[in-house]
Structure 1
C-alpha cells in the first residue's frame, strides 16, 4: 500500500506505521501478535491543490476488499483490517460520503473502520520504502490500476501572461512561434533529439503538457510525442495555412501555438504524432521536478 499510494500524483510523502491500538512503541512482532489491536497503516501526506481527498479514497478502495474483515489478499489478522483514520474532523464527512458511495457496489456490508487517528507509531526502518528495497517482495496490490486514474491539472495554477508580458519574456523566435503561429527549423531546435527523462511544460505559463515517457524519435526533426500528459491540457483548431488542412495543437492555459498532430504515429501507442516546436515548451529534468513544484507528476515520468 505504501508504494501504491506514493505513485499517486499529488502525494508528497508516505510512511508505514501502526495505528489505533493500545500500548506504546509497538514493534512489528507486537503488532502481528494481534493482542494490542494495532492496524498496519500508511500515513499519507498530500497536496490538496493537486489531488483531493476524494481521489485518494477512490484510489484506496480500488485495491482493497472493504467487505473483508481482518484480511486482505493472503494476509490474515486484526492488523490487516481495512481502515481510514483521519486527523482533521472536517474530513470525516468526506470519508463517510465515500464509504456510502462505495457501499452501493456491494451486497455485503462494508467493514472498513472510519475513526480519528489515534496512537500512531512509525514502523521500523526496514518497513519504509519496502518495495523499493525489495522489488521482488510480496505485494498483493496491482499497481496498474493507477494507469486510468484521472489526474487533474488545474489551469488556474498557470495563468496566461499578457501579449506584452510575453514579448518581454520570450525571445523573438519564441514569440513568433507561440503567438504568431510560426514554425522553427527542423533538426536544429533544442529538444528534437533530447532523450533525458523529464517533463515538458508550456513556455508561457508552465502548465505541464508532455513527458519524456511519451516522446519518441519520429525522424521529422521536431520533438514528437504520442500523447499529452493528460488530454485536457491541449486544445485543437483546424489550420488551413499554406494550402493544407492540418490540426493545430495549442496549450490550454496559455493558448499558444505548440505545433500540429498527425495520424502517422506508432500504431501500438495510439497512432498519433504530436509534432511540437521546441521554442513553445520548456524541459524540466526529472531530478529538478520536485524543486520546480512538479513533484506530483513524477509517476508520469519515472
Structure 2
C-alpha cells in the first residue's frame, strides 16, 4: 500500500530546474509523488522572448517548472531527485546534449520563500562535500521565463519511445539505496539486541503507553532512525506536539522509507506505518495533522526509534541527512 497525499490541502512551492533536455527532466518528475504539476520552458536568457530554435542566440536554458506540495515532498527530497538525474560537475552538457541551453540551474521566482533559498544552498554544500568538488549548478532568481511550445509539453507521455538522456525507471528506485538489500536479523537475534519494549513494538505490533516515552516531548535537532535497521525515517524539523502522547511527525524524511498497511484491529480501520527496510512496526498515520504541514499526523512509538542528535549525525554516518534537519 502506498500512501498518496495529493487530496490533502497542499502547500505548493514552485522551483525551476534546468538539467539538460527538458523532455527527460519533466518525464522523471511527473513520476514523483508530491509533484503537483510540471511545465517545460526556457529560463534565464538575455531577453524576454525566445523559441526552441533560438536558444543558442538568446542564452536561455531548457528548464522544467515544478510545482510541488511541500507538505508531502520536502525541498530537500525534491533536490535529491534532481541531483540524481544530472551530472552536477558537467558544464553546458548533459548526456549527449551540448550547449549553454543544456546547463544545469536552479531558478526561483519572487514568491519563493527566503528560507527555501537557504535550504537550497545547504543542499548544494552537502552535495559539494560528497563530490569533493564544487557543483557547477547555477542558483539564480528567475528571469525571462518563456513557456515552451506545445509540441514539447509532456513530450515523453505522448512519445514513449522518444529520446531521453535520463533513465526514467530511476524514479521507481529508492533514493536511499542502502536498504534495498537489507537483511533483517533473525527473531532470536533481535530479541537479544533489542529492549523488550522495542522488540514487542517493532516485531509484535505493540504500542508504548501514551505519554510514556521521552521522545514524545523531545525538542532537539536531529533524526529518528529505525531502531532495528538504522534507516533514517523522520526529521526533528517535521516533528510537532500532536497532544496524543506519542511522537508526531508531519512527514517522513523520504516518502520511500515507509510502507503502509490497512489495520482493522480495535474495531476501527487505521493505516499502519512500517519501515521499508526492516519491516518494523512503527505506529499509525492519521489525517488530522496541521493543514499547513500537509494534513497528516504520523503517530509513532518512541520505542521503535533511535534518536541521533544533529551534533552526532556526521560522526554516526548520517551526514547526508543534515540538510533535512537544519532549520
TM-score, structure 2 as length reference: 0.51
Q: 1:285 aligns with which of 309, 320, 327?
A: 309
Unaligned runs of 5+ in 2: 1-78, 104-120, 123-137, 143-170
Instruction: Confirm whether residue 55 of structure 1 aligns to residue 83 of structure 2.
Output: yes
Secondary structure (helix, strand or coil) at the match of 2:216 reads coil
| Post-superposition CA distance 1:64-93 (Å, at most 9, x none) | xxxxxxxxxxxxxxxxxx838xxxxxxxxx
Contact 1:158 1:207 in 2 (8 A): no
In the alignment, does 2:91 pair up with 1:83? yes
Cα deviations by residue, 1:131-156 (Å, 9 ceiling, x for unpaired) = 89xxxxxxx72599xxxxx8811113
Q: Which residue of 1 aligns with 2:256?
A: 232
Distance 1:240 1:289, change over 3 A: same
Paired residues for 1:132-143 under 5 Å: 141-142=139-140
Taking the aligned partners of 1:195 and 1:206, their CA distance within structure 2 comes to: 21
Contact 1:161–1:205 (CA<8 Å) still a contact in 2?
no
C-alpha distance in structure 2 between counterparts of 1:298 and 1:180, whole Å: 32
1:80-119 equivalence runs, <5 A: 83=91, 97=95, 100=97, 109-110=99-100
Normalised by the length of structure 1, the TM-score is: 0.55
* Contact 1:158–1:206 under 8 Å retained in 2: no
The residue that corresponds to 2:42 in the other structure is: none
Aligned partners of 2:86 and 2:94 also within 8 Å: no
Q: Could you say if the C-alpha distance between residues 205 and 290 of structure 1 is closer, same or farther in structure 2, counting changes exceeding 3 Å?
A: same
| TM-aligned CA distance change 1:243 to 1:112, over 3 Å | closer
CA distance in 2 between counterparts of 1:168 and 1:210 reads: 25
Q: Secondary structure at the match of 1:236?
A: strand
SS in structure 1 opposite 2:211?
A: coil
The SS at the match of 2:266 is helix
Q: How far does residue 190 in structure 1 lie from its aligned partner after superposition? A: 2.4
Q: CA RMSD in A?
A: 3.3
Cα distance in structure 2, aligned partners of 1:191 and 1:183: 14
Other structure's SS at 1:268 match:
helix
| Residue aligning to 1:24 | none
CA distance in 2, matches of 1:284, 1:301: 11
Q: Could you tell me how far apart the structure 1 residues matched to 2:183 and 2:141 are?
A: 34
RCO comparison, higher one (Cα < 8 Å, 6+): 2
Alignment match of 1:152 (pick from 175, 184, 188): 175
Tell me by how many angstroms 1:183 deviates. 0.7
Q: Is the 8 A contact 2:94 2:102 kept in 1?
A: no
Partner of 1:248: 272
Residues 178-216 of structure 1, C-alpha deviation per residue, up to 9 Å, x if partnerless? Answer: 111011111111200011000100000000100001000
Residues 293 and 243 (structure 1), Cα distance of their counterparts in 2 relative to 1, 3 Å cut: same
**CA shift in 2, pair 1:111/1:277, >3 Å:** closer
Count of residue pairs brought into register by the alignment: 186
- Residue 56 of structure 1, CA deviation: 5.9
